[in-house]
Structure 1
Amino acid sequence: MARRPERTEESDDKFFDTLTGILAEAYGSHLHFGYWDASGDGSLAAATSCMTDQVIKRTRVRAGQRVLDIGCGTGAPALRLAHVCGVEVVGVSVSAREVDRANERSRREGLAHRVRFESADAMSLPYADGSFDAVWAIESMSHMPDRGRVFCEIGRVLAPGGRLVIADGYHRGAGPEASSALMDTMCTAFRMHSPPTLTGYEDLFTAAGLRTLESLDLSDHAWRSIGYLTETLRTRSPEFAHVLGEAAFTHLMECLKEADAAEIFGYVLLTAERRGL
């Protein structure tokens, strides 16, 4: 098993600052996998925006309620949620620069009174019990060293009956040796931790006092994003090599040539709720 870099707040801050800046130029404001269907225009920007809407639909929040965004990135998804639903949003990230940029975006859009972003660790959230009506995490759980601890924190800050929505990768199960090497390599390069299986996610929810409502496999709608990621890695190779390390980047590109990421990674939209007291 490839060894992941030791997680420190300072190293994470610098790493994600740089990575977000590079990827945002290719992906746009909604910095996550896209959702493609027959009604879309086929662009990456439209698809990533559509994925955000898939998550928003499942939060089922209404005006005046409060939502926590774990791993806020650019802040664009949180701001879209606030515009669409009239809610208050608090976004958190370990990257101080992401937080600053997201707050600036909130001010530009005239939403600073309802949407703010703060530096915080999802494994130790600085919020009171039951203080949010919904929580979401869009492709941020993969960077958490202890998912179980994060889900317990989410269960704590959610109000009874409050919803959690997760959009992220999952482990499809044992694959060929090349695919296993690709998983290890991708996780090392991007400071991720191997994703659970779908059953593994549900077990984590249960342990945190959360009840699974929906497990929707979106792999067929999302995997065009892998092509965009690979092309971005190729065209911006000097920058990625600098961020990830020359050897790690070279190994990653070699593994991507040899194995199909879709063989081991699926993409899922999970909805759960906090059990009532």
Structure 2
Amino acid sequence: MGITSTMKRVRDSVLSKERSREDLKIGIAGFYDRSSKLWEDVWGEHMHHGYYVPEDRTDHIQAQIDLIDEVLKWANVTEATSVVDVGCGIGGSSRHIARKFGCQARGITLSPYQANRGNELAKEQGLSDSTSFQVADALDQPFGDNSFDLVWSLESGEHMPDKKKFVDELFRVAMPGGRIIIVTWCHRDLEEGETGLSKKEEKLLAKINRAYYLPRWCSVQDYVDLLEAKGAKDIKREDWSYIIAPFWKAVIKSSLNLRSVWGLMRSGFSTVRGAYAMLLMLRGFKVGLIKFGLITCTKPTS
């Protein structure tokens, strides 16, 4: 990379400039290629937040597993035969759901490291026949129409630069009558009369976006509106920000131990910047700007 290109990246980072869709794809893949091993070494195979009820629980890895089960319970999912995990990480959710329901699960991610590691773990856990992982774009999924009776997206929607296309693809691959679950970070719903977030709020989100390779945010209500426009049935939404809140402090604390600091240094600048951005996320949550939103619906049978 030349000096001019490096200077441009530094300038864009300082100014929190918004990235193009192609830059986001490249950045997301690289970010998770570099950071996933460190996360797994510290937190295990589940690359998402935990379920903290009661809020003082300290079994963080079990809390991550419980989040999957509690989201499924919340969405009234008691069985499945074929699942797609959109933004699968290293496949923790896919393997857990495959074991839970005895079903087939496919996972997609932009990160080659994550897809390879997901398949390695599936083999180690005796799940190669029921789970598989591949590199693919959530906005252009490599699956046929009406393929899955459970479409699962846990903490990946925030990476999608085109939320309408994202919802369109989730709908397309879902079977008629199939369940769609989106769990994602959103900004707060706009109040009546507001046309957008404040400049201060936008500035905070822009800084987070640069660190985590995120596009512009949307609200939970925006997702509901998109689903209603698709004719979705049984739409349900909820804010679980308070339920996952203790996980932020646990992750930040874990990043300060010697092992994690050394891992951060070895993982490169973008991973270090991502660790710093956790403090920005915590600030956004505390002021009510950032929400941990749950949205679910079923695809019409006709």
Q: Could you state the TM-score of these two structures normalised by the residue count of structure 1?
A: 0.87
1:261 lines up with 2:278 in the alignment? no
Go from structure 1 to structure 2 and tell me whether the alpha carbon gap of 1:250 and 1:103 turns closer, same or farther (over 3 Å shift): closer
1:102 lines up with 2:118 in the alignment? yes
Aligned mates of 2:170, 2:154 — CA distance in 1: 14
1:196 lines up with 2:218 in the alignment? yes
1:43 lines up with 2:59 in the alignment? yes
Go from structure 1 to structure 2 and tell me whether the alpha carbon gap of 1:123 and 1:260 turns closer, same or farther (over 3 Å shift): closer
Gaps of 5+ in 1: none
Aligned mates of 2:19, 2:103 — CA distance in 1: 37
Aligned residue number for residue 244 of structure 1:
270
| Structure number with larger C-alpha Rg | 2
Aligned mates of 1:219, 1:253 — CA distance in 2: 15
Go from structure 1 to structure 2 and tell me whether the alpha carbon gap of 1:111 and 1:43 turns closer, same or farther (over 3 Å shift): same
Deviates more, 1:6-15 or 1:97-106: 6-15
Q: Deviations over 1:139-173 (max 9, x none)?
A: 01111111210110111111111011111112125
Aligned residue number for residue 296 of structure 2:
271
Shift of residue 255, structure 1, vs aligned partner: 4.9
Aligned mates of 2:116, 2:275 — CA distance in 1: 32
Go from structure 1 to structure 2 and tell me whether the alpha carbon gap of 1:4 and 1:214 turns closer, same or farther (over 3 Å shift): same
Shift of residue 97, structure 1, vs aligned partner: 1.2
Aligned residue number for residue 154 of structure 2:
138
Contact 1:209–1:275 (CA under 8 A) maintained in structure 2:
yes
- Aligned-residue RMSD, C-alpha: 2.8
Aligned residue number for residue 66 of structure 1:
82
Go from structure 1 to structure 2 and tell me whether the alpha carbon gap of 1:256 and 1:123 turns closer, same or farther (over 3 Å shift): closer
Aligned mates of 1:113, 1:127 — CA distance in 2: 18
Aligned mates of 2:226, 2:166 — CA distance in 1: 10
Count matched residues: 274
SS, match of residue 72 in structure 1: coil
Contact 1:61–1:133 (CA under 8 A) maintained in structure 2:
no
Contact 1:34–1:222 (CA under 8 A) maintained in structure 2:
yes
Shift of residue 120, structure 1, vs aligned partner: 0.9
Aligned residue number for residue 205 of structure 1:
227
Q: Could you state the TM-score of these two structures normalised by the residue count of structure 2?
A: 0.80
- The aligned amino acid for 1:111 is L
- The aligned amino acid for 1:222 is I
- The aligned amino acid for 2:125 is E
SS, match of residue 145 in structure 1: coil
Give the 5 Å matches for 1:1-277.
2-6=16-20, 7-8=22-23, 9-38=25-54, 41-57=57-73, 58=75, 60=77, 62=79, 65-173=81-189, 179-235=201-257, 236=260, 239=264, 242-244=268-270, 252=277, 255=280, 259-263=283-287, 264-277=289-302
Identity %: 24
Contact 1:73–1:98 (CA under 8 A) maintained in structure 2:
yes
Aligned residue number for residue 12 of structure 2:
none
Shift of residue 194, structure 1, vs aligned partner: 3.6
